[in-house]
Structure 1
Amino acid sequence: MIEAGQNPEQVTRILFQDFPTWMLVSFYVVAVLAIAVFVYGCYAQVRKYARGRSVSEKGLWGGIKDMIEAMLTHRTIRRRDSAAGRNHALIFFGFALLFIGTATITLEYDILEPIAGIKFWYGSFYLWFSLVLDIAGAGFVIGLLYMMYRRKWLALPKLDYRRPDRVPSDPDYGRDWYRMEDWLFLWALVLLGITGFMLEAARLVWLQADPTVWDYRWWSPVGAIVAYGYKALGLTPMGAGELRIGLWWFHGLLALTFIAAIPYTKAKHIFTAMASLAVRDAKPAAHLPESDLTAKKVGAESITDFTWKQLLNLDACTKCGRCHEACPANATGFPLSPRDLVLTLRELSNATLEGFRLPPQDALAAIGDGVNQVRPETLWSCRTCAACVEICPVGVEHVPIIVEMRRALVDASEMEPTLQKALQNIHNKGNSLGENKRKRPGWTKKLDFEIKDARKEPVDVLWFVGDFASFDPRYQRVSQAFARLLHHAGVDFGILYEAEMNAGNDVRRVGEEGLFQHVAEQNIETLEACDFNRIVTTDPHSYNTIRNEYPDFDGVFEIEHASAMIQQMLASGQLKPSKTFDARVTYHDPCHLGRLNKGFEPPRESIRMLGAELIEMERSRDNSFCCGAGGGRIWIADPTDKEKPSENRVREAAKIEGLDVLVVNCPKCMNMFEDARKSTGNEDNFRVMELIELVEECMDFGEGSGAVAAEEQRAADAAVPGVQ
């Protein structure tokens, strides 16, 4: 590798070759100042996070392994945008290798050699070092140039910072400073990469007469190509030497300026994104944190009411717009963008928490109509479907942040009257529809068998029915069908009759933490008084909170969703369909079953076992588009001048040629889609059916079973009573 007769120690690069002493002193003075600015900036950020509330240490850093895996594979960045992921990987790994290279040189030049006389940056090590960094630098620049092309010429809507919760006359509508920051960030890095190669090439031309330099030029392939370009333009060794000095200072000052600016600019995401992924909750939307009901105030009305972890989340956001693109509220014209909400709180945090002293309390307010404040209508637009949380590549947990702010609004009684009425109904009558408790088991009267009362006798399976499955006339038919399936399969099951209360999932997500804890404790007390082995429910919302949140209140139960139980019964032969479901169907993943609890496969397996032709919608599984009912929105009337998320979803289903049935797996989805099918003009084009109804239609239960045939369902009552 090293040519005969050459000293390996001379095959290296002398950093300050031919530099006068004043240049060296000046460089180190500037470097120390840059590092000091960087260190203070880091201190200011840590001080800012420390002004947030503490957070439970339980499982806090459990995501370090996932963070490392995400960082090395770039899986969270490649999802749904593979080109951006590939090019970000070039930037990330290129930057990392260049940083390691610079640190390695500093280690030898400034520490090991002066103190211990240790040298290693020469000979074969230096040549391989140079080759690796040249390749890394080329990838680094290529990735940055693509990001420039993507931002300028692709003009992706998700990179447009105009806010849906503001109007053009508002001072913070366009956020032009973010575009400027993005471009400065990209140009700074591109210039660092390009001037590095130009500097390398200038040195090669300057020292072309030295065989320990020129003979090894192709170990720096990009630099060598640029050097030949210089020579073709007539650059002499003397001219290259002068160019080297100018480029050296430009490149060095740019690098030091970038380092100093990291804690104050977008560049901080280099650190905050990794930290955010490391402390990410395993179930950030399925399991919300408890609120201390004994505290003077509940929720987050001020920026200091958020935890340090949430303040870190705000800084981790890279403004990529994936949450903005995935949000059903934003997609249908509601004044909410998860990204813009995070950026608003970040701006408030930076403006108020980075200084030596906190400003007056009024300046810390996070909710309001002012600049750096989130408006209440923005918070109430959220469906808590977690599409934003699920797609965020850096682990930002938007839903817990929104719910904390909702808790403050509810604590101040600032909510829609219909929402307040629903919450009152749950408190007074145990259900959101305001029905008498004694009517809860009324749907069972149309069955030709009795369902056991799990309060009075042991059962194997306790069926937690839920509000809509008990009181909604359309979904009562589904409940009856599921009861017939369980009875036919010989399952020993029972229900709680009038003792069952709303499970509280959506109560918690609208921000009424006190009521949630009340109904959770009441249901847990009732369940613990019963003798059963496991719980089943047809309601994904109840399934989610009983599975993930009741254990916080010592309510630990084995629970499964009805779709999983049906799949098991079909597979085991407990249910034996007498005919196939000969139709083209598509399946809608409910947010609380699919995205929040990964229940993707059982419903699809059941559909296939029934013989139906399953055609997936464009947005499915973890990318499923919310029906719009979650987060308490089913209790709040949608504006008539805006498209409803359910209508958006039904139109997506209608694009499937020859579609016969839109299959749902949730009472709230059924309610929303039945209405949307009519309002979008698709009433005669396809049916909306529960998975349970598909199974029953394939069973031979005989006349009087209550199964809804296709023509009967088409002629069923037009409107399904709801709360919208």
Structure 2
Amino acid sequence: MIVPLQAAETPTPTRETFWGISGVGEILFYYLTALVVVVFLYGVYARFARYAEGDEDPIDRLDDLGSRIVAAARIVLTNEKQFDRDLYGGLMHSFIMWGFLTLLIATTILAIDMDAWQLVLGQESFWVGDFYLGYQFVVDAMGLLFVVGIGMALYRRYWVRNHRLWGRHTSSEDDLFIWTLFVLGVGGFLLEGLRILATGYPEFEIVSFVGWGTALALETVGVDQSLATTLHWWAWWSHALVALAFVAWIPYAKPFHMLSSFANVVTRDENSARRLPGIPADLEATNAETIDDFTWKEILDQDACTKCGRCSAVCPAKASDRPLDPRDVILDLKSYREELDAGTTDEQSIVADGGTSVIDAETMESCMACMACVDSCPVEIEHLNSFTRLNRQLVDQGDVDPGMQDVFQNVMQDGNTFGNAARNRADWADPLEFDLTDAREESVEYLWYVGDYPSYDDRNKKVARSLATILEAADVDFGILFEDEKYDGNDVRRVGEEFLYLELAGHHVESFEACDFEKLVCTDPHSYNTFENEYSEVDFAEFADDPMMPFEYDGYWNADGEVEVLHWTQAVEELVADGRVGLSGTELEYTVTYHDPCHLGRYNDEYEAPRDLIRATGCELVEMPRNRANSFCCGGGGGGVWMEFDEDPKPSEERLREALEDTDTAADATVEKFVVACPMCMTMYEDGRKTGGFEDDLEIVDIAELIVEALGKEDVATGE
């Protein structure tokens, strides 16, 4: 009788977790793991305990915490900020982050299966069969992405030597971080290849395609099954010790950004920079005398910095060789704090003009408050909050640029930055063929805040007359405050003069309350920003009883947004859309480019209204390479319009060069007009046109001037 042969039983897809490791080895591994967890948790505790020593943050950053966490998870998991203006960097970070998270989740699943499911609950392992096969395939696929991402990082850092990654704070810590990740990624696949080779290539392990390929490569170079078994033990312990050391290291060095960055995104202020936090009414309060004057969020900002250099790359001050690198300011504060806590340095001034200090006054004077650093930061560091705190300290100490001192004096005495008489504020309107309405005496639809530069600067007076002509042509009921209008305070606040800003804000809200109007319209984006985002944040009741404050208003102004605040381009764009301006069929036929003002664009996300108006005049609009949120500052913000700097090139000169040399136009066309929508931009670019030698190459015009030319009323607007 012939007995048929039975097929060999196919092994169930799974593997022994501690294959090749003795029982003593397992115990030792668990002991080391427990020790590492303790070291890790203590490090995290110490970090967050240090934040608690910082000052209280004036903004509630933990309200609606669930929604904050969900929103932060979306931002972090999509890597949307990393992809912004950097596809290579976005892909690199995505590969590393998703690969790392997958490996972390895979390790966690394995621990649950062994230590909870089997050991505690007494169940059979679920790490078998199809689950095991799927697990191994996903881990290999995502692990490969992780290694590719690390390779991309190494290529960018060491081969290309991307300028963003190298600076004063670049250190061996950065090298150790990236190379440790590389060793973990490559070492994991080497370990897997050795195991597959040592166990005789189990057929189901082909799903571990990277490990399988590694095993084949090892065999090709002469590693047999016996040697693979021996090498596996050494590789297993090497990989385990590096992994455990890395976990223990996380809270004490650069890897902590994996936790602090997420916390920073959770606690971010979506209105950061466009609204600065107020200062306490307590005159005894300090701004930046010590490191603990910084709020807990500002200290968290310091720990969240990954040294990626995105803020440095977009900073116009750094590009102009001013002594400011936003990354260095944040990291200088962090280094000083850590050295002070460790007792390796003596306490010193945080910021000062000359002498020994952490930050030099000239560094902070260089900031243009353009918000480019805040906008570009992938981990939501709020640079301008810390910078403003430093500027306020400089004001408290009297370490203020002489040009700014003159401006402060002018505003205190005359209510404007020019030091001209308040009674002359509306003289710009004298050449007009119509009279302006006094909004203090009559009801108007638009209360027009003209601003300092359109009121007193000869070049910007033409812009003011142009806008008045447009509103008159549209039959708009508008009026101004005449001598009751003062400087809005936006930029003196950003250079640290908070109390002068409060005086101006209190005066204006009382003036606004005394008028009957529907909409508040601003010529200057700086005015628009502070009226829209900051005046409503001030609790005037805290200061109304102070004899130094010349106002009696004792509440929040426009807290519910009942007053609509508009930049003039937004208001006029509505009028054009309603057919009230009369631009239909107009053709100016100029080739122009448009510069996005920081306070209108990055600060307030208004990009389309100015462009719609330019196109409505018939001009051909071509975009500079840096446009919209990536616009390059004119150099006038943050008090820059009033200070002198040793810089080359000037930001305004660099921007005009970009308009002429880097902007793609139609064949045989050149940019004829450089269009602005901000009085400070007008001032800076008219200066840059002269100093940069561009006077014969292009003309600086405001959008309002294009519109009045399209309407055929330019003679009235210019006063001719």
Normalising by structure 2, report the TM-score. Answer: 0.92
Q: Which amino acid aligns with 2:611?
A: R
Q: Distance in 1 between matches of 2:718 and 2:400?
A: 41
Task: Please give the secondary structure, in 2, of the residue aligned with 1:85.
Answer: helix
C-alpha spacing 1:614/1:293, structure 2 compared with 1 (3 Å): same
Q: Which of 598, 605, 618 is equivalent to 2:605?
A: 598
Task: Note the alpha carbon deviations across 1:669-696, whole angstroms, 9 max, x for none.
Answer: 0011111111111112111000000000
Task: Note the alpha carbon deviations across 1:378-406, whole angstroms, 9 max, x for none.
Answer: 11100010000001111011111100110
| 1:474 Cα deviation from its structure 2 partner | 0.8
Q: Which of 475, 497, 501 is equivalent to 1:516?
A: 501
| Residue in structure 1 matched with residue 185 of structure 2 by the alignment | 193
The answer to whether residue 672 in structure 2 is matched with residue 660 in structure 1 is yes
Answer whether contact 1:130 1:219 (CA < 8 A) is retained.
yes
Task: Please give the secondary structure, in 2, of the residue aligned with 1:560.
Answer: strand
Q: Distance in 2 between matches of 1:20 and 1:448?
A: 97
Q: Distance in 2 between matches of 1:457 and 1:298?
A: 44
Q: Which runs of 4+ in 1 moved over 6 A?
A: 358-361, 368-372
Q: Which of 101, 105, 111 is equivalent to 2:110?
A: 105
Answer whether contact 2:488 2:530 (CA < 8 A) is retained.
yes
Answer whether contact 1:277 1:394 (CA < 8 A) is retained.
yes
| 1:586 Cα deviation from its structure 2 partner | 0.4
Q: Distance in 1 between matches of 2:221 and 2:61?
A: 61
Answer whether contact 1:301 1:405 (CA < 8 A) is retained.
no
Answer whether contact 1:301 1:367 (CA < 8 A) is retained.
no
Q: Which of 21, 25, 30 is equivalent to 2:32?
A: 30
Q: Which of 227, 230, 241 is equivalent to 1:239?
A: 227
C-alpha spacing 1:417/1:631, structure 2 compared with 1 (3 Å): same
Task: Please give the secondary structure, in 2, of the residue aligned with 1:294.
Answer: coil
Q: Which of 580, 604, 614 is equivalent to 2:587?
A: 580
| 1:361 Cα deviation from its structure 2 partner | 8.3
Task: Please give the secondary structure, in 2, of the residue aligned with 1:549.
Answer: helix
C-alpha spacing 1:421/1:293, structure 2 compared with 1 (3 Å): farther
Q: Distance in 2 between matches of 1:30 and 1:72?
A: 31
Answer whether contact 1:302 1:366 (CA < 8 A) is retained.
no
C-alpha spacing 1:4/1:53, structure 2 compared with 1 (3 Å): farther
Q: Distance in 2 between matches of 1:350 and 1:46?
A: 14
| 1:367 Cα deviation from its structure 2 partner | 5.2
Q: Distance in 2 between matches of 1:4 and 1:548?
A: 78
Q: Distance in 2 between matches of 1:706 and 1:564?
A: 20
Q: Distance in 1 between matches of 2:59 and 2:535?
A: 20
Q: Distance in 1 between matches of 2:130 and 2:355?
A: 62
The answer to whether residue 686 in structure 2 is matched with residue 674 in structure 1 is yes
| 1:469 Cα deviation from its structure 2 partner | 1.0
Task: Please give the secondary structure, in 1, of the residue aligned with 2:520.
Answer: strand
C-alpha spacing 1:570/1:621, structure 2 compared with 1 (3 Å): same
C-alpha spacing 1:13/1:562, structure 2 compared with 1 (3 Å): same
- Within 5 A, what are the aligned runs for 1:362-373? 362-363=347-348, 365=350, 373=358
| Residue in structure 2 matched with residue 207 of structure 1 by the alignment | 199
| Residue in structure 2 matched with residue 689 of structure 1 by the alignment | 701
| Residue in structure 2 matched with residue 331 of structure 1 by the alignment | 319
| 1:4 Cα deviation from its structure 2 partner | 8.9
Answer whether contact 1:581 1:612 (CA < 8 A) is retained.
yes
Q: Distance in 1 between matches of 2:43 and 2:444?
A: 62
Answer whether contact 2:596 2:627 (CA < 8 A) is retained.
yes
Answer whether contact 1:369 1:375 (CA < 8 A) is retained.
yes
C-alpha spacing 1:372/1:318, structure 2 compared with 1 (3 Å): farther
C-alpha spacing 1:37/1:131, structure 2 compared with 1 (3 Å): same
Q: Which of 77, 83, 87 is equivalent to 1:78?
A: 83
Pairwise CA RMSD: 2.0
Q: Distance in 1 between matches of 2:442 and 2:7?
A: 93
Structure 1 gap segments, 5+ residues each? 162-173, 713-724
Q: Which of 4, 12, 15 is equivalent to 2:14?
A: 12
The answer to whether residue 363 in structure 2 is matched with residue 378 in structure 1 is yes
Task: Note the alpha carbon deviations across 1:489-524, whole angstroms, 9 max, x for none.
Answer: 110000000001111101110101111111101100
Q: Which amino acid aligns with 2:534?
A: E
The answer to whether residue 103 in structure 2 is matched with residue 115 in structure 1 is no
Answer whether contact 1:303 1:364 (CA < 8 A) is retained.
no
| Residue in structure 2 matched with residue 21 of structure 1 by the alignment | 23
Q: Distance in 1 between matches of 2:19 and 2:288?
A: 58
Answer whether contact 2:287 2:393 (CA < 8 A) is retained.
yes
| 1:153 Cα deviation from its structure 2 partner | 1.4
Answer whether contact 1:292 1:298 (CA < 8 A) is retained.
no
| Residue in structure 2 matched with residue 403 of structure 1 by the alignment | 388
Q: Distance in 1 between matches of 2:346 and 2:55?
A: 16
Q: Distance in 2 between matches of 1:647 and 1:465?
A: 27
Answer whether contact 1:352 1:364 (CA < 8 A) is retained.
no
Q: Distance in 2 between matches of 1:671 and 1:366?
A: 30
| Residue in structure 2 matched with residue 699 of structure 1 by the alignment | 711
| 1:439 Cα deviation from its structure 2 partner | 0.6
| Residue in structure 2 matched with residue 296 of structure 1 by the alignment | 284
| Residue in structure 1 matched with residue 666 of structure 2 by the alignment | none
| 1:359 Cα deviation from its structure 2 partner | 9.2
| 1:54 Cα deviation from its structure 2 partner | 1.4
C-alpha spacing 1:522/1:17, structure 2 compared with 1 (3 Å): same
Work out the percentage of aligned pairs sharing the same amino acid: 39
| Residue in structure 2 matched with residue 392 of structure 1 by the alignment | 377
| 1:700 Cα deviation from its structure 2 partner | 3.1
Normalising by structure 1, report the TM-score. Answer: 0.91
Structure 1 stretch displaced more, 619-628 or 228-237:
228-237
C-alpha spacing 1:273/1:6, structure 2 compared with 1 (3 Å): farther
Q: Which amino acid aligns with 1:695?
A: I
Q: Which of 275, 293, 310 is equivalent to 2:263?
A: 275
The answer to whether residue 470 in structure 2 is matched with residue 458 in structure 1 is no
| 1:24 Cα deviation from its structure 2 partner | 2.0
Task: Please give the secondary structure, in 1, of the residue aligned with 2:701.
Answer: strand
Q: Distance in 1 between matches of 2:93 and 2:713?
A: 58
| 1:373 Cα deviation from its structure 2 partner | 1.2
Task: Please give the secondary structure, in 2, of the residue aligned with 1:349.
Answer: helix
| 1:112 Cα deviation from its structure 2 partner | 2.5
Aligned residues: 683
Structure 1 stretch displaced more, 608-617 or 252-261:
608-617
Q: Distance in 2 between matches of 1:317 and 1:429?
A: 43
Q: Distance in 2 between matches of 1:495 and 1:448?
A: 16
Q: Distance in 1 between matches of 2:420 and 2:7?
A: 94
| 1:349 Cα deviation from its structure 2 partner | 2.1
Q: Which amino acid aligns with 1:566?
A: V
Q: Which of 89, 94, 110 is equivalent to 1:89?
A: 94
C-alpha spacing 1:418/1:371, structure 2 compared with 1 (3 Å): closer
Q: Distance in 1 between matches of 2:356 and 2:194?
A: 50
Task: Please give the secondary structure, in 1, of the residue aligned with 2:85.
Answer: coil
Q: Which of 150, 157, 175 is equivalent to 2:156?
A: 150
| 1:370 Cα deviation from its structure 2 partner | 7.9
| Residue in structure 1 matched with residue 514 of structure 2 by the alignment | 529
| Residue in structure 2 matched with residue 476 of structure 1 by the alignment | 461
Q: Distance in 2 between matches of 1:695 and 1:552?
A: 35
| 1:461 Cα deviation from its structure 2 partner | 0.6
Task: Please give the secondary structure, in 2, of the residue aligned with 1:362.
Answer: coil
Task: Note the alpha carbon deviations across 1:233-291, whole angstroms, 9 max, x for none.
Answer: 33222211111100000000000000000011111111111111111111111000001
| 1:160 Cα deviation from its structure 2 partner | 2.1
| Residue in structure 1 matched with residue 543 of structure 2 by the alignment | none
Structure 1 stretch displaced more, 227-236 or 321-330:
227-236
Q: Distance in 1 between matches of 2:51 and 2:600?
A: 34
Q: Which amino acid aligns with 2:36?
A: A
Q: Which amino acid aligns with 1:22?
A: V
| Residue in structure 1 matched with residue 300 of structure 2 by the alignment | 312
| 1:652 Cα deviation from its structure 2 partner | 1.3
C-alpha spacing 1:366/1:14, structure 2 compared with 1 (3 Å): farther
Structure 2 gap segments, 5+ residues each? 1-5, 539-555, 664-668
Q: Which amino acid aligns with 2:83?
A: R
